[in-house]
Amino acid sequence: MLEPGSSKAPERSEVDETDPPGSFGHGLAVGFGLCAALVHVALVGLAGDWVKVYEEMGAKLPLMTRITTSVAWQLGVPVIAALALGALILRRPRSGIPYLAVAVVLALATACTYWFPTAPIGELAGNLRAD
């Protein structure tokens, strides 16, 4: 804004290094990571039913199925997600690499939570044949 009686525009100040980054990509990565964590929580409710089915079948479960249906996985992923996302929000690193890394790890964890609890049923269904 021009001061009265002045024809010269005020000088713009340089961005201070202590200013938070204004990157849209950083916020997008945090939002994606948060959505992945929420989808994981929703999938955990479905995984409880699969554990009961496997217990009734008495089937030996693959390692990844045992891991992703364990309570440690089901509760650990959201806790780690909250800590990682909270650290990103509070510390606000300038580089986009930490944001991208957290978003990718949370997406992979959610994909594992979706895929591995149902994998034994899918394998069993693939082995059935109509004679």
pLDDT of residue 13: 57
pLDDT, mean of each 10-residue run, the chain (131 residues): 60 56 78 92 80 76 86 92 91 85 94 87 64 51
* Structure tokens, 83: 């800590």
DSSP 20: P
* Structure tokens, 78: 């959201």
* Structure tokens, 42: 């929703």
Domain locations in the chain as residue ranges: 24-125
pLDDT of residue 6: 60
Chain centre to alpha carbon of residue 33: 4
Query: What phi and psi values does residue 25 have, to the nearest 5 degrees?
Result: -60, -35
* Structure tokens, 68: 């992703």
Q: What is the Cβ-side half-sphere exposure of residue 85, based on CA atoms within 13 angstroms? A: 22
Q: How far apart are CA 39 and CA 19, in angstroms?
A: 33
pLDDT of residue 69: 86
